[in-house]
Structure 1
Amino acid sequence: MNLDEATMSFAPDMIEMLARARADLRMGVPVVLDGASPVIMFSIETLTPQRLTQIKTLGTEAVLVITVQRANTLKAPAYDGDIARIALPKTVDTAWITAIANPADDLRAPMKGPLQCQRNGDATAHRAAIKLIKSARLLPAALVVPVSGAAEFATTNALTLLDLAATQTHLAALSPLHPVIHAALPTTVSDVGRLHVFRPEDGGEEHYAIEIGN
């Protein structure tokens, strides 16, 4: 065995780990963020009653994280500036949580308060959770729960583990786009045109461009 073979790793890199995390969140599987204050995060859009029951058995304070725009609609103070952290009442169900996060039923169920928003503590992981969920094209709302021993917790529960600092760095960067395919596309504007499809390196949504003329 040569040196290159001995040092080769089949482990996913950070971009691939983020793609895996997005897929997990879309399926309703939580993701662990490992930083100074490790947390387990859930997408509100895909949260199930079964997992909410499991969350309540952890014995730690769960927090519902929403964007400042949603907080303003709910008249909830966003002490962190761009997000609001709402303490999760112990007796609520997934319907209540979804109603807080999703504006679709605001006219049918306008009364949702009072909401107890957190003012103190580090919101770094909560902010990263919202950015990760947005990058997965899910409703921008997360349920965040503190955990101890992030690596062990993730391994025990077979969950994706992300380094918080690396996650922040990659989410702030624009993913390179790679051409996938192109084809002729006549339009009413021009008989000579082409459709180009590009796929981002981070596993995000494909991008389309229309070329008109020669």
Structure 2
Amino acid sequence: MTDIAVVDYGMGNLRSVSKALEHVAPNQTVVVTSDPAEIAAASRVVFPGQGAMPDCMRELEARGLREAVMVAAADKPFLGICIGLQLLFEHSEEGDASGLGLFKGQVKRFAAADMHDEHGAKLKVPHMGWNQVRQSIAHPLWHGIEDGERFYYVHSYYVAPENASLAAGYSEYPKRFTSAIAHGNLFAVQFHPEKSHHAGLQLLSNFVQWDGVF
């Protein structure tokens, strides 16, 4: 039985995610897979990805992975990363695309024309690099991670949940946006823990030990 399944729907290089998981869980089996049966059999599921949301949804559907992801998100420890967070919501401004609709809310683009830092300098889109994450709630996946720790981002869009209680963390660029959500057995982040050095490895370590209870 696979311990950890990393969902492969052809969007992004998943090697860094799988290697980071292998590092924090050397005694567990980590498999990058596009097989719905293997995802269903796994104890935990990681749902990462890179690219445009319309392309991601198209590939999920084409590979027959939509149902497998939906079921995994409902009944076992589940970690979404980057696009794997955005796809959980109803709709994205990127390509006017529908998502999986697990949660009500929109995926919005940073309004580059109106974005400046505290010194008046124009901020670039995509939001790329290190930024602080403030923890909105206490959660097992934040264990051992200081509030305000820095994580690595690469994104032009962010999630805007209808239900504010979903938010588990937020960042500012320059306005506040939701950078992590939590609901039952599911946790999902906009940043890349696999690229975030010690703090990212701590979050992944917490995930591989988490029983999915929150």
TM-score, length basis structure 1: 0.26
Max Rg structure: 1
TM-score, length basis structure 2: 0.26
| Structure with more contact order per residue of length (Cα contacts < 8 Å, sep ≥ 6) | 1
* Bigger share in strand: 2
